[in-house]
Structure 1
Amino acid sequence: MTTAHAALRAQLDTLTTEAFRPELAGIDRLSTLEIARVMNAEDATVATAVGGQLEAIAAAIDAISVRMARGGRLVYAGAGTAGRMGVLDASECPPTFNTDPAQVIGLIAGGPSAMVKAVEGAEDSKELAAHDLTALHLTPDDTVIGISASGRTPYAIGAVEHARTRGALTVGLSCNAGSALAAAADHGIEVVVGPELLTGSTRLKAGTAQKLVLNLISTITMIRLGKTYGNLMVDMRSSNEKLRARAHRIVALATGAPDEEIEAALTATGGEVKNAVLVILGAVDAPAAAGLLSAARGHLREALAQASRPR
């Protein structure tokens, strides 16, 4: 056994996410229903663990939102399951919030192929993370979130360290307390979910925790950026039949207008939901709605307030 291997084993022994649970050593002898009940009970603890980090999460979101409002990007960086969670969240922002694909970016150690097949050794390289981020030409308005269940993955730590040298905001998301990742970042979020049902299988509770936190970060950031109106996803463009039906429904919920008026507004605005709502509620034409929204930086409530003022 090499010295490095021995050191890694000793380090893993200290991580909560890697701890062995002797009380579950006979889980393979339980019935399928019994195992399902045990797993379900484990999963039920994750939301509480996330709840314990809400203040840290909210502080990070506020800092991210300010930068994104100035045109900054949100970049996730991780390896394995953690990296896949970041790529998944990033890929869902364009269809949900009509963001530019370059606005929220997911990086996974080993590149896109690592989404479906493990790339051996990729997670062990800080240099690889720096290389991946160098291609993005980071600015101080950007945010890089390193994601790692253990909080010790070199790729995630390297991403945060490189981002800080470029003046970008950094967040470290891990599932162990006192992690190196959190220590390296401006904002540390440590959701301690405890040992996994299967020893070291951090695709389970740790992966669920990461998904929940990323949901919070991206969704609330988009709310802060004016991508919603109440709890309606108004910042969307109806580009196919399914989305056209959804757009019509959202405009109806936001305005209570009759179908004919909704269709006319959507047609006039090129299918832009937010603009159509403003046309109806603000009693303005499509070009005026576009101008008001531009002046309000995309915030529909602010644009509506301007439209209602005497002109």
Structure 2
Amino acid sequence: MTLRRTEQPHDLAQGLDTLAPPAILSALVEGQLAALAALRPALPALQAGAEAMAAAIGNGGRLIYTAAGSSGLMGMADGLELPGTFGLSPAQIVISLAGGAASLQHMTGNTEDDVAEARAAASTVRAHDCVIAISASGATPYPLAFLKAAPQATRIAIVNTPASPMLAQAEIGICLETPPEVISGSTRLGAATAQKAALNAMSSLMGVLLGHVHDGMMVNLVADNAKLEDRAARIVARISGCDLASAHHHLAAASGAVKLAVLLASGARDIEDAAQILGAARGHLRAALNSL
């Protein structure tokens, strides 16, 4: 049987355990950098994935990440950070891991084979949802069964192995053809790095498409602690040109919502006027500012 690429020996692996620590680290880092190069050919597919994610959120649907093991950790890290980064409702983010939350503390391999659990989890998927299934092999039973059981949703597959079954089940297939791992088969290394970078890029483009990024700033965050209040005030001041004291004042009037505070600082009559302007611009701050 032909070994998957992630299982094949790496050129830098021969005698790895005999090398000095600096040389071992150098080999491991080179493996990570080589894995990231796999994203370049996947840019068109990543764009399609981001557009599908934005459409799901814009239509009131959910992003559902499904995976097992290291790939599950990558999906969970991406999904759980989206409410804080882009102000998405936590109810719009679902993490469906093989073995459930308990698998995070004790990552055993047998949970990834539970296709009955995957089908049960997929039974709640709705038409406007977007499923993001992740697997280095592209054949992990849990996310593969989840994809098969959710034809009503838009389905994205992120894999590291070409011509794999998950690609055939997804409307949007993203193949990150990473090189062999420096430690053979340890897909938490290069393959997982490429997966996380792909998820970062895809969900960040989604945020831009939804209007939650303005000049590289996270304008859809809601300031609900001291650190975020300071960050939000600096964003309001930078975009509107007001001073920090005024920015804090407008943020208070907007209950911490950055976009509304920017509009107040830029000439909106009151919070109702700011909300109406932003609504007419479909949540895009630049269009809202241009209409003032």
TM (norm. structure 1) is 0.89
Corresponding position of 2:78? 89
Q: Is 1:163 equivalent to 2:121 in the alignment?
A: no
Percent identity, aligned pairs only, is 36
**Which residue is 1:42 aligned to?**
31
Q: Equivalent residue of 2:173, what SS?
A: strand
| Equivalent in the alignment of 1:106 | 95
Unaligned runs of 5+ in 2: none
Deviation, 1:115, is 1.6
What is the 5 A alignment of 1:1-311? Answer: 10=1, 13-21=2-10, 24-134=13-123, 137-164=124-151, 167-306=152-291, 308=292
Letter in 1 for 2:238: L
My pick for the range that moved more, 170-179 or 255-264, is 255-264
| Structure 2 residue matching 1:140: 3-state secondary structure | coil
Which 10-residue stretch deviates more, 26-35 or 280-289?
280-289
Counterpart CA distance in 1 for 2:240 and 2:148 is 47
Aligned-residue offset at 1:22: 6.5
Offset of 1:28 from its aligned partner?
A: 0.4
2-side partners of 1:231 and 1:304: how far apart?
16
Q: Which runs of 5+ in 1 are unaligned?
A: 1-9
TM superposition shift of 1:295: 3.2
The one-letter code matched in structure 1 to 2:215 is G
Contact 2:34 2:179 in 1 (8 A): no
In structure 2, relative to structure 1, the CA distance for the partners of 1:266 and 1:22 (3 Å cut) is closer
Q: Distance in 2 between matches of 1:120 and 1:40?
A: 26
2-structure distance, mates of 1:97, 1:159? 27
CA contact (8 A) 2:134 2:157 kept: yes
The answer to whether the Cα contact below 8 Å between 1:124 and 1:153 also exists between their aligned partners in 2 is: yes
Task: Give the TM-score of the pair, scaled to structure 2.
Answer: 0.95
Task: In structure 2, give the amino acid aligned to 1:195.
Answer: P
Secondary structure at the aligned position of 1:102 is classed as helix
- Report if aligned partners of 1:149, 1:174 keep a CA contact under 8 Å in 2: yes
